[in-house]
Structure 1
Amino acid sequence: MNESPGWASPGSAPSDGQKPGVPRPAEPTDQSDAASKWSKEQPPAGQWSAPSGQNTPPDPPQQQPAPNWGGRPRGGGWGGPPPAAKPGVIPLRPLGVGEILDGAVSTLRAHWRTVLGITVTVAVITQICDILIQRYLLPAPPEVDQNATPAEALSQSVDVMQSTLINSAPTFAITLISTLFTTALLTMVISRSVLGRPVTLADAWREAKPRLPQLLGLTLLLPLMAFAIMTVGILPGLLLGGGVGTALSLLLGLAAFVVVVWLMIRFSLASPALMLERQSIMKSLSRSAKLVSGAWWRIFGIVLLTALLTFIVAMIIAVPFGLIAYAADDGLDGLLSGRTPEFGWPFLIITGIGAVIASSITYPISAGVSVLLYVDQRIRREALDLELARAAGIPGYGPEQPTDNTPGS
């Protein structure tokens, strides 16, 4: 598919210590020689008249200054800079937060067949596997005695926590695999939507398939890194025990959590770099760190806002389906009584349908924000907008560069 979005090679990026190949206007020619040829005796200013027999050309009309709207001149016919080219879902210039979110939603609207084909397929397979595992493989949650003594209540709490962790492990693994496929495929779709080019599910799969092993390694590495850091922070207090150990675990655990958040934001652009630039795992982590450098708080705010929005959307969809599932399976009386419900097929099927709908909406938004953040940082640092405009064939940006099937070329 000869539809490469024209991603510049990371070897020529200024974040790697080199200057981007941005065309610059030519330097003005030296006027010293020409100025020396003028006569030293010049008429006074404003009193020069044309020689007899020649028509005096009319004075050129004065150019009106561009109107100032809120402190910034507008483009178009008012003398300001022209608006940025927009061949696809985003304008080719540094993006604001609203434009990044709008670009993610616009991708879902513009390529809804491909995007929903990816997300619905992955979400349905994920939910079927999750339902079967919950129904046939996972143990039943332990019973909680409401009249237990404090020591028994503490023991029951530990049992419930262990059961929750065991039951969450398969769901986490399934979610990890589903995120892997959706991220890989949607990255290719969004990279094409930046240029306004269509892409089919078969095209996205053909381009993403060779990068799946590396993306799987990156997807596993980041949670393992976070788990190892949290373990190092909490373990000394647990080994010490007692009140001092608990306080130490809380303090070091909080410090470890801050480190984890810092690293996850620092490496948040590694997945797009790995897919679009065809980097190795470690080089994609280094690439993300360089792109995020100097913009950590901005990217943190956008990632946090995106997570909050997707959570709200998921809850808006999941809560009604959960209530319907409770009513259809155990009845709302069981929910209000506080006893542990026994979930049957109706509950699992109805909540699974809600999860599929929520995933079909939230997956494209999350993936879109991640890829568009990557594009935005490269526009800000490496003038990627010029390369994208050339690849899109927009007039005024030089001849269109020859492209191949490699998104990282």
Structure 2
Amino acid sequence: MGNAAGTGIRKSGDVDPNARQTVQLDDVITTVVMARVTDYFGFFVFAIASALVFPTIFFPYLEPVPATLASFAVFSLAFLARPVASLIGRRLEPRIGKPGKITVALMLLGTSTVAIGLLPGYDRIGWVAPALLAVLRVIQGLGLGGAWDGMTLQLKSAAPKERDGLYSMVPQLGGPIGFCVAAAMFYVLTGFLTEEEFYQYGWRFAFFAVMAVNVVSLFARLRLLTTNFGSDEATMMKSAPLGFLLRTQWREILLSAFLPLSSYALLHMLTVFPVSYTLLFTDNAIDRIILWQLVGGALAVGTVILSGLLADRYSKRAVIIGSSVLTLLLCLSIGTLNDNPAVYIVAGFIIFGLSYGQSSAIVPDRFSPDCRYSGSALATNLSWIFGAAFAPLVGLFLASTFGLWAAALYLVSGVVVTLVALFSLRRQSDKI
């Protein structure tokens, strides 16, 4: 990746003693990926546990399907809390600065995650256990929402115009890599511990590990926030007044929130849904499912990178349309989860990488520079609510009530919404 003129990010050998802190672009890319991987690692630790652990530990008084649905309902709470955290962060940031806000947010996220790992189950404290789990999940959501740092905006500002797609996919690498790290941990824990050992204490180690990586994430983010990205950084990273933002940018916010819907829904229908469906409705070994997910996640890293190359050669719009069409074809294979799950899982991850690689990159360009930071944050939080928060819950409910074909139709609906939003934005602007 080349250097962008005027970004303040220097190549090796350049010296700028007057810069606030100027680093090589390779260091910035490494920092962005590191921060995103740690974010997604913690995210998927909870997500996998929602399917694999929590129904047994916190909802044993329910039948297996309702218990898993209750667990997925708790999972969704963090997404609902994220916009609230963004509003709190708008008030907090002027007082303690962006580094201070992110430090507080990540400490909230880390401590609540460790607390979940220490939380007694229903067999010890009764209904208080799932209630505390829900409270801690909300606190996690406040931490996730408050940790919004605009890293995608910063990296895009450093990208040469002809390499914008390639630079934009860099933060997205955190998704499949973070999932692979979390899934690998559960693969080891379920493979080397007995079932009793795993449910008694083994699963808790994954949550303790999240706190450790959160420390890494904190330093990575603080390093990035002190990086000089150019003379327009002050405008790009400034929060716009909320009233002005909603009054002037409401249409762009809503349409931008719907753009990644297909990608976010597919993410959960590949990571969380197959685990729950396998445990509840098939005789397939769960370690085999996780192994195929690891294979798919590794391939998705490659297709995320490929999405950047294709976006630069053609356009982000073409990549999203192409991946949406492939997602529709993938829905035809969802029935293989019963007998040959590798087909749906591996193919799905390959398609997911293409879709996810440009799903966030297309959002910031919809906003004027003075609204870009706040508009992107609000659109992103809404995207996670619409496309991800309830995907495991809805997918499992439909599959358990009507069959896998109904879960496939849910994924189809996400694709349709994405394509409609893309077409609507295309009519307004030729920037995509």
| TM-score (normalizing by structure 1) | 0.27
Q: Which structure's residues are more often helix, by fraction?
A: 2
| TM-score (normalizing by structure 2) | 0.26
Asked which structure has the greater RCO (Cα within 8 Å, sep 6+), the reply is 1
| Higher radius of gyration, 1 or 2 | 1
